[in-house]
Structure 1
Amino acid sequence: MTMAYPIVFQYPCFVSTICLIMFLLSQFSTIEANNIEGFSVKLIRKMSSNAGTVQAPTHAYLGQHLMELSIGTPRKTIYAIADTGSDLIWVQCVPCDKCYKQLNPLFDPLKSSTYTNISCQSELCHRLDTGVCSPENRCNYTYGYGDNALTQGVLGQETVTFTSTTGQVVPLGGIIFGCGHNDTGNFNDHEMGIIGLGGGQVSLISQIGDSLGGKRFSQCLVPFHTDFNVPSRMSFGKGSEVTGEGVVSTPLVVKQDKTPYFVTLLGISVGNTYLAFNGGEGNVTKGNMFLDSGTPPIILPTELYERVFAEVKRQVPLKPITDDPTLGPQLCYRTLENLSGPMMTAHFEGADVALAPIQTFIPPKNGVFCLAFTNTSSDVGVYGNFAQSNYLIGFDLEAHVLSFKLNDCTKQ
């Protein structure tokens, strides 16, 4: 969904040109699970501890990854975008007259015995910086995203339930979330909301981290081309660390905005050709990129993007498509199989991350492969989920380190 901001959009919108496939306080929650140190979840590819590590299924669809979890009592299954670029957890709730259409039933807080509204007097009402008192003394919120999506509703607390690797049910009580009653944006009918996984204080990671052995998590996203029945996986807390041979790490850059996971990109190599982030003009600015699982492509500042575009075009021994207006300005090729090259490398501070064509080219339609990059007028770029695929990526919010380990995420 690209990075999200309460009420005010503080950065320019990061909107992909890949239009055919782009389509997410001081008092924290009471954790009801006992003897749980961490957990993992599968991520649904949206097309269709004594207890082990806590996990959540995640499935992919149209460039997004949907996390499967349960909310409320009795439990209601929710499929929501796993988004490291935002903080708020929210789902569409009854009544929802001004909401986008979804296939599954809306969540009805009145039918859950564990749901509670957050009052205007509660300190929690102001943790999102958007708390506005309603005539019923409920804490209303407004939360906007960089692609102009918007959710408005009521802040509440609820029990969220996961399943650990051993099959144990893990209920996490008192989770702060948004009950959306007015939700707009480029959502599709499989998406029931967004799970904010950023670094801010109302994100899922911040709310559950202390009770699961630390504010850390890891993810292994399957590539865009993968059968949608094959899930990705996300793990939380103790046991989610990325270790072993082949791990490379880069510092997480701490800025005033705690939500995004900022890192420093020194440059990009296309084959053996190195392209410096700023064209070699002095040192790069720290924190010039952030990782966003809710944004599919890599988004680069225009000057760097144009150099990458030109170098890829020079190295691919095929004629670019110029007679298909549906593809817009994208760099696309006709081929029956995925491109065999060029290999690319993202050179982060202290960590070189190799990118195969399966991570840098996507098929918007049969027989066509397009470069999964686009550009922005901002001087801060986005490292999207296409490039994150087939890497086990660890986010350690306490040590301020991001780790990469090459992995076949289809075999977990």
Structure 2
Amino acid sequence: MANYTFLHPLLLLLVLLFASHEVEKRYAWGRELVHLEAISLTPATTCKDHTNGRGLTLAHRQGPCSPLAANRQSRDSGLIFLRDQSRVHSMNVLGESPALPTGDHGENARLPIRGGAAPGAGEFVVTVGLGTPKVDLTLIFDTGSDITWTQCEPCPNCYHQQDPMFEPSKSTTYSDPQCTESDCPYSIEYADGSHSSGYYIQDLLTLTPEYQFPNFIFGCSQNNSHNFGVTAGVLGLGQGRTSLISHISSQFSNIFCYCIPGSESSNGYLLFGMEALRNCQTKNTTPLIIDQNNPSYYYVNLVGIAFGNQTFSLSSESPPPRTIIDSGTTITRLPPSIYSAIQTEFANYMSNYPVADPLTKLMDTCYDLRGQENVNLPEMVLQFENTDVRLDPSAVVWRESDAQVCLAVAPNRKRPDLVIIGSVQQQNLNILYNIQDNKVEFGNGGCGN
């Protein structure tokens, strides 16, 4: 630390005031303004590991941390947002009518033939092991799907995946589940036109060497559309009775937590049970709302959004919108009136920066930040029932390039009564789902930029 003992008192005062100003400038985190260094908007080309050995690694499917790196291509935002629109369309449609019955799992179960939201939209993947000897498979991480499935040999109509395809006949722990159908068929028809079908089997699931689950029931797919990239299938983390969480509830008590990384060059984590509680439990809780018509989704009560100098009430909307937290949606969807007010507030804060061309129809409020050493962004706070959640600065914008940085929320014009909180707004948060106690908890995440 510098020694100011021999400075003139007036000079010393000036030095201290300047230092105080610099600290305030660098670390400002008030309701009105967040100072974000421009370098943090630029994703690195190498992977930064923030898991510290915790749980399963959660990685962006197109980033340098992805286990699909052998087939990794540069980020295609057009494709990401096409998938995102399909996902939102699916959720909008499912929200209009009751879902098909999910049935029970386990002995004498009637396993489901059902519909669901488009899972191919999910931008994050995890790797689990199936069978004996274990086959590692990279699956789309999806909190909006119940069924876990992977492509299996023989497969008459499968797409190309990076991992070796699972062959039940080569696993010494494979068996057929008990169900009312002779061959246990499953079929998922998604609202965007994608599909997966095959039959159910049961085999050993390996999450980590310490956590293995015999007789895990999953879909063995033999007929798929080509909407899933080079992943091996989907890991269903919804709260329905056929999901992964339900199957492993005896060990983990229907509790899990994840942290979505703040950039494609970082990884996050997925934790279960006591490990989730140790790393993610907080006092910032909001009730988990159960919808019997759509039991897979995680509904919460979002009553308002504080953004910059303004607070926008959702509870005053008519009717008040329902809110889903969803890992498979990329950018948050809001009622058009709320979106318009946030867009105006964002434009006010960004008025000192040059306007850039719209990135897509979804994100049409963009700015050119080339040459900026730091960027002033309004802070966003999600006001849930019982708790406020202050979002990470990276959750406010989508950076396509330094020349095109856009507001990362969009209007849900088809369903103004449905809010979907997407993965961008969940970045760097620990989100703990405690299904047995019907609550969701939020904390500062450990998977930084």
The Cα of 1:245 is off from its aligned counterpart by 9.3
Distance 1:219 1:393, change over 3 A: same
The match for 1:7 is none
RMSD across aligned positions (CA) = 2.7
Q: Distance in 1 between matches of 2:225 and 2:281?
A: 44
Identity of aligned residues (%): 29
The match for 1:343 is 379
The match for 1:396 is 434
The Cα of 1:328 is off from its aligned counterpart by 3.3
Name the TM-score, length of structure 1 as normaliser. Answer: 0.74
The Cα of 1:110 is off from its aligned counterpart by 2.0
The match for 1:13 is none
The match for 1:328 is 361
Contact 2:57 2:127 in 1 (8 A): yes
Q: Distance in 1 between matches of 2:282 and 2:210?
A: 33
Contact 1:199 1:258 in 2 (8 A): yes
The Cα of 1:173 is off from its aligned counterpart by 0.8
Greater Cα shift, 62-71 or 80-89:
62-71
SS in 2 for 1:205: helix
Distance 1:248 1:169, change over 3 A: closer
Gapped runs of 5+ residues in structure 1? 1-38, 49-56, 124-132
Contact 2:303 2:385 in 1 (8 A): yes
Specify the code of the residue in structure 1 equivalent to 2:350.
Answer: V
Distance 1:173 1:240, change over 3 A: same
The match for 1:217 is 256
Q: Distance in 2 between matches of 1:387 and 1:185?
A: 28
Structure 2 counterpart of 1:138, from 183, 205, 214: 183
Gapped runs of 5+ residues in structure 2? 1-53, 76-121
The Cα of 1:235 is off from its aligned counterpart by 0.9
The match for 2:307 is 270
The match for 2:217 is 176
Largest Rg, 1 or 2 = 2
Deviations 1:137-159 (A, max 9, x none): 31211113454432111111111
Distance 1:155 1:302, change over 3 A: farther
The match for 2:155 is 96
Deviations 1:152-191 (A, max 9, x none): 111111111122xxxx4432111111111222253222x2
The number of residue pairs the alignment matches comes to: 337
Is structure 2 residue 411 aligned with structure 1 residue 375?
yes
Q: Distance in 1 between matches of 2:297 and 2:152?
A: 27
Distance 1:114 1:385, change over 3 A: same
**Map of 1:5-404 to 2, 5 A cutoff?**
40-47=55-62, 64-118=123-177, 122=179, 133=181, 137-163=182-208, 168-184=209-225, 186-189=227-230, 191-212=231-252, 214-223=253-262, 225-227=263-265, 230-241=266-277, 247-256=283-292, 257-277=294-314, 280-281=316-317, 284=320, 288-317=322-351, 318-322=353-357, 327-330=360-363, 331-336=365-370, 339-365=375-401, 367-376=403-412, 377-378=414-415, 379-404=417-442
SS in 2 for 1:241: helix
Q: Distance in 2 between matches of 1:59 and 1:241?
A: 30
The match for 2:27 is none
Specify the code of the residue in structure 2 equivalent to 1:241.
Answer: L
Name the TM-score, length of structure 2 as normaliser. Answer: 0.69
Q: Greater strand share, 1 or 2?
A: 1
SS in 2 for 1:240: helix
